[in-house]
Structure 1
Amino acid sequence: MERNWSTLCLSPAFWGRGLTLAWKALLAPYVVDGHLASLIIIATALIAAFSWNSRLVVRHRTGLLRGIAVAGAAGSFVIVGQAFGTLPAAGTLALVAAGTNTCVNLLIILAWSQVFARMPMASTGLVLGISYIAGAAFFFLFQLLPAPVQAGCALLLAPASIGCVQLCSALLDLGESRTRAEERDGAAATGNAPTGRPVRDEAAPPTTAALLRSYPWRMVLVIVFFAFAVGINRIHSTPQIDVFGAGLAGVIITLCTALTAVKVNPFVLYRAIIPVMLAGLLISILAGPHSLPAQIAANASYAFSHLLLTLLLCDKAYRFNAPILFIYGIGRACMGAAYLLGALCAEALESWLAFNPLFSVEVLYGIVLLGSVVAILSWVSRREYLEVFQNRAPETPEAPTSETTAPGAPVPVEAIPEAECKSTPSPSEQATTHPAVAPVRTRGEISRTELLRAMIERRCGQIAREYRLSKRESEILVLLAWGKSSKRIEEALCLSPNTVKTHVRHIYAKLGIHSRAELDALVDTPANRS
C-alpha cells in the first residue's frame, strides 16, 4: 500500500483535521474559562486512555461518531445563539455548551489520531502540516464573511470533520484490503499461501500496567516542558495569533517532512523541530512575554508540540501496533496538565510581582528553557532510544544459556519457538553485539559495524520484496539476520511471544528455509562469509 500514500495524502478528505482547528478558533471567544477547559481536556483524555480496550474504538463506531458530530453541532448552536443575543450569555446552558465543545474537540482529535496511526510517519507529517495550513486559511477566510455566514460555518465544521474521519478510514480500509489481496495472490503464486487469521489479530492485548511500563515517558517529558512554558506566556493571546502560529507550524512541518521523507523518523524530527521550538522560547524571553513576536513564537511552539506529540505517538502505534487511544490520551493529558500548571504559575507570578519587583517572569522562562535543554540532552543521550527508532534491538549482551543448539544445525519448523529461544549467536550478532565488558572501539571499527548493519538491512529489504513479506515480517527478518533471539525481538517490537513465533514460522515458510544457518546463507553478509 506504500505506493498509494502520495495519492492519499493529496486527497482533501485527509485535510479535515484542519476543520477542527478553524472550528475551535471561531468559537474561542465564547468558550469557558481556560482553567476549566484544561480540566475538561485532562479528564476526557484520561477517560479515553483507560478505556482503550473497550468497544468504543472511535473510527469503528459509526453511532459514536455521529453522536460526537451532533454534540458538536448542538454546542456550536448554543454558542452562536449567545453571540447573536438570542440565548443568555451566562448560566448553566452556556457553561454546558462550552464544556461540550471542548470535550468534542478532543474526541475529534482522538478520532483523527486513530486514522494517522494507520499511516507511515512521512505521510502523517505531510497530512498534518497541510491540515494546519488549510485550517488557518479557512479561519482567516471565514473572518472576511458576514457574521451569519460565519455562524453557519461554525455549525457545520464539527460534523464535516467527522465525515472526513469516516471517509479517510474507508479509503485506508480499501487500500489495506487491496494490499492483502495482492499478498494472498503473491503467496499463492509462490506456493506459500497464508493460513488462519492475519498475524496482527493473533497477539494477545497487553495489560494497562504493561503499557504504562513501556510508555515513552522521556519523549513526552520534553514536549511537556514546552507546554508548561507556553502556558505561562499564552494567557493573553488571541484566536488570530493562535491560528497564525498554528499555520506557521504547519508550513514548517510540511517542509520538514517533504524534504526528509526518504529517511524521516522520530529522531530526524527531533533534530529538525526542537531547535525551532527552543528558538520560539528564546524569542519570548528576549521580546517580553506579552509582545506580538513573543505571542506568535509561543503559539507556533505550542502548535509544534501538538504536531510532534501526534507524529511520535502515532508512529509508535503504527510500527508497534500499540493502542493509539491509550498512548495519545496519556500524552494529551500530560500536555494539558503542564499547560494548566504554567498558566497558574504565570498568574501567581503576576500577582506576586507587585510586591517583589526584583523578580520577573523571564526568570521562570529561563528555568523552563534550561530544563527543556537538559531534558532533550538526557533523552538523546540514550542510545537505545535511537536504536528503537530505527527498528533495532538495544545493543546489550545476551545472557548465556545452559543449553544451546549446534551452530548450523537444521531446526524443524515445528520446533522453531523453542529452538529460537536457545539459539547461539550468529556471525551477524557477533559483529553487532558488545561483550560483557565492551572495549573502546576506534572510529574505523564503528564505521565497519554501521556499514555491516546497512548491508544487512539492504539485503533483507531485497529478500522482503522478492518473497513478498509483509511490513512486520520484514522488520522481524532484519532482527533475525542480526542474530537476535525471539525474546529480544519481542522486546524490540513490543510483540507477544505467540505473535513472534507465528511470524517466524511464516517467514521460514515463505523463504523455504528451516534454520538460522540457512537464513544467514540467504542473507549472505560479509560477516557470514568470513
Structure 2
Amino acid sequence: MDRFLEKLFAFIRKNALIFYAGIGMGIYRCAHEWPLWFNATVTQVGVPPLFVGESFFLLVDVGKVVGLIVYLILCYGFDKHRRSSVLLILPSALIVVGCLVPLGVVLGLDPGETAILASLVLIGAGAGMLFGQWIEFCGCLPPVKVIQVFAISFAARFVLLPIITGVDELLSTLVIICLAATSFVQVSFCFSAIPIAEDRPREGLGAKGLSGYGMLFLFVCVFAFAYGVGGSATQLSHSTHETGVGNLLPSLVILILAFKMGDRFDRTILYAIALPLMTVGLIGVEFLGISLSFSQVMVSAAYSAFDLLVYTMVCSNAYRSRTSAMLPGSCIRILALIAADLAILLMHLNLSWNRGVLVTVTILATLAAGIAVFVPLLGSQRDYSRFQPEGESAERKRLEDIAASRGLSARETTVFHLLVKGKSATEISEELFISNGAVRAHSSRIYDKFGVHSRKDFDALFDR
C-alpha cells in the first residue's frame, strides 16, 4: 500500500501542471453551467426564476458568442502579446459582476428584468472569454497533454458541480463567485509554468490560415446542429448528474490511455475512440427508444468526445506551427454554439415538418461529414510529428532508426527513448507503469544490443 501511494504521489507531482490546468478548466465548465441549474432551482425556495421560458439558455449562449468575438478583437487588435493584466482579469470580472444579480435575487431584491437579462449575458461573456484563455494555454502544450487537460476538466466538473449545486442557493452563488474571481490566477499560473521558447508572441493564423480548417468547421457545424436537433427532439432533461456521467465516461477512457501510453497515444487512437462514441450517442437517442436519462448520458458522452477530438486537433496544429490556438479554437466554439442553438430554435417552432425525418437526415449528414473529415486519417501511418514540433519529431525519427538498426522491440524502443532522455530507472518505471525489475531487464537487453555493459557506458555512447 505504501509503495502504491508513493508511486501515486510521484505521478501527481510529475503531472502537477496538467492536473492543475484540468481542474481550472473544470471550474470554467462549472461557471458556464451554473446559471442553468440556478434558474431551475430557485423556484423551489419561493424565489422567482431569473428568466421564464424554454429559451433561457440562449441568453447565456449569446453572451458566450459576444464575449469570444470581443475578446478576439481585444487580444489580436489591441494587445497582440495577450499579456495585459486587464485582459487577464476581464473574464473573471464579468462572471463575478454577472453573478451579483442572482445573489441579489436570492437575498430578496428585485433587480428588474433588464438587469437580469444583462447579468445572464455577462456571465456568458465571461465564460466565453475564459474558454479563449484556456484554449490559448492548451495550444502551448504537446497534444497528448491537451487531451489529458480536457479529460481531467470533465472529471473535475463531474466532482465540483454537484458540490457547488448541492448546497442552498445563497451559498452556491457565493461559491461560484469565489471560484470565478480566482480563475485569472489559475490561468496566469499555468502560463507562467510553461517554457516559452519564442521571444515574440504566437501569431494568429489570419483568414488564410483559417481556410485550412474548412472541413473541420463544416463538421463542427453539422455535428453541433445534430446535437441540438437530437436533444430537442427527445426533450432531454439536461440534469447535472446525467450530463456529468455522460461527459465523464469517454474522458476517463481517453485519460487512462493517454497517461498509460504517453506520446504513443496519437490521433489515430483518439479518432478510433471519439468517432464511435459520437455516432452511438446520436443514433441511440433517436432510434433505440432508450430512456430519457440514458439518452442524456449518451448525448453528453458524444459531445464530450467531440470536444476532446476537435480541440485537440486545433491545439496540436497550433503547437506544431507555433501559432495561437485562440483564434481557430474560438471560431469552432462560436460555430458550435450557433449551430446547436439554431437547431434547438428550429425544433421549438410549430412547423409541419416530420421531426423524425429531420432528425434522421441530420444524423446521417453528421455521419457523412465525420467520414469525409476523419476516416481517411484512420488508416494513415501513425506519425509522431503530428503531435510534436519539427525538431523533436526529427530527433525521434533519428532515434527510431537507430533502434530499428539494432533490432530493438517496440517496448525496448520506448525504454530506449527514455534512457536517451536521461530518465532514471525509477522515472521510467513510473512513466510506463512497470516494475523496476522490468526496466532493468529491458535496459540490460538494450545495453547488449548496443555493445555496452552499464548505464554509464550507454550515456557516454550517446554523449559522443
TM-score calculated relative to the size of structure 1: 0.62
Q: Which amino acid aligns with 1:232?
A: V
Q: Does the C-alpha gap of structure 1 residues 308 and 48 become closer, same or farther in structure 2, counting only changes over 3 Å?
A: farther
- When the two chains are superposed, the root-mean-square deviation of aligned CA atoms in Å is 3.8
Unpaired segments ≥5 residues, structure 1: 178-197, 393-450, 469-530
Identity %: 17
Deviation at 1:57, TM superposition (A): 5.8
**Residue of structure 1 equivalent to 2:221:** 224
**SS of residue paired to 2:385:** coil
Is the CA contact (8 Å cut-off) linking 1:23 and 1:158 kept in structure 2? Answer: yes
**Residue of structure 2 equivalent to 1:155:** 177
Q: Which has the higher helix share?
A: 2
Q: Is 1:377–2:378 an aligned residue pair?
A: no
Q: Does the C-alpha gap of structure 1 residues 292 and 110 become closer, same or farther in structure 2, counting only changes over 3 Å?
A: same
Give the counterpart of 1:364 among 358, 364, 383: 358
Deviation at 1:318, TM superposition (A): 1.1
Q: Which amino acid aligns with 2:23?
A: W
Distance in 2 between residues matched to 1:339 and 1:13, nearest whole Å? 27
Q: Is 1:265–2:266 an aligned residue pair?
A: yes
Q: Which amino acid aligns with 1:292?
A: S
Is the CA contact (8 Å cut-off) linking 2:95 and 2:180 kept in structure 1? Answer: yes
Is the CA contact (8 Å cut-off) linking 1:111 and 1:165 kept in structure 2? Answer: yes
The worse-fitting range, judged by mean Cα deviation, of 17-26 and 284-293 is 284-293
Give the counterpart of 2:193 among 144, 148, 171: 171
Q: Is 1:71–2:98 an aligned residue pair?
A: no
Is the CA contact (8 Å cut-off) linking 2:18 and 2:145 kept in structure 1? Answer: no
**Residue of structure 2 equivalent to 1:412:** none
**SS of residue paired to 1:145:** coil
Q: Is 1:136–2:158 an aligned residue pair?
A: yes
Deviation at 1:143, TM superposition (A): 3.2
**Residue of structure 2 equivalent to 1:307:** 308
Q: Which amino acid aligns with 2:317?
A: K
Q: Which amino acid aligns with 1:62?
A: S
Give the counterpart of 1:208 among 206, 209, 217: 206
**Residue of structure 1 equivalent to 2:401:** 455
Distance in 2 between residues matched to 1:169 and 1:10, nearest whole Å? 12
Give the counterpart of 2:129 among 107, 118, 125: 107
**Residue of structure 2 equivalent to 1:7:** 15
Distance in 2 between residues matched to 1:15 and 1:289, nearest whole Å? 33
Q: Which amino acid aligns with 2:207?
A: A
Distance in 1 between residues matched to 2:142 and 2:205, nearest whole Å? 25
Distance in 1 between residues matched to 2:221 and 2:345, nearest whole Å? 15
Residues 381-430 of structure 1 show CA distances to partners (whole Å, capped at 9, x for unaligned) of 656995796538xxxxxxxxxxxxxxxxxxxxxxxxxxxxxxxxxxxxxx
Q: Is 1:37–2:60 an aligned residue pair?
A: yes
Distance in 1 between residues matched to 2:378 and 2:120, nearest whole Å? 44
**Residue of structure 1 equivalent to 2:231:** 234
Q: Does the C-alpha gap of structure 1 residues 297 and 99 become closer, same or farther in structure 2, counting only changes over 3 Å?
A: same
Is the CA contact (8 Å cut-off) linking 2:22 and 2:148 kept in structure 1? Answer: no
**SS of residue paired to 2:93:** helix
Deviation at 1:288, TM superposition (A): 4.7
**Residue of structure 2 equivalent to 1:333:** 334
The structure 1 segments of at least 4 consecutive aligned residues displaced by more than 6 Å after TM superposition are 451-454, 456-459, 465-468
Deviation at 1:153, TM superposition (A): 0.5
Residues 207-255 of structure 1 show CA distances to partners (whole Å, capped at 9, x for unaligned) of 62322333x2223433332211221233443341333333334323323
Q: Does the C-alpha gap of structure 1 residues 94 and 312 become closer, same or farther in structure 2, counting only changes over 3 Å?
A: same
Is the CA contact (8 Å cut-off) linking 2:92 and 2:180 kept in structure 1? Answer: yes
Q: Which amino acid aligns with 1:54?
A: G
How many residues align? The count is: 375
**SS of residue paired to 2:262:** coil
Distance in 2 between residues matched to 1:383 and 1:249, nearest whole Å? 21
Q: Give runs of aligned pairs for residues 49-128 of structure 1, distance below 5 A.
A: 49=72, 53-56=76-79, 60-88=83-111, 90-128=112-150
**Residue of structure 2 equivalent to 1:278:** 279
Unpaired segments ≥5 residues, structure 2: 1-10, 40-49, 387-396, 406-413, 423-464
Q: Does the C-alpha gap of structure 1 residues 71 and 101 become closer, same or farther in structure 2, counting only changes over 3 Å?
A: same
Deviation at 1:142, TM superposition (A): 2.6
Is the CA contact (8 Å cut-off) linking 2:228 and 2:340 kept in structure 1? Answer: yes
Deviation at 1:372, TM superposition (A): 2.1
**Residue of structure 1 equivalent to 2:7:** none
Deviation at 1:18, TM superposition (A): 0.7
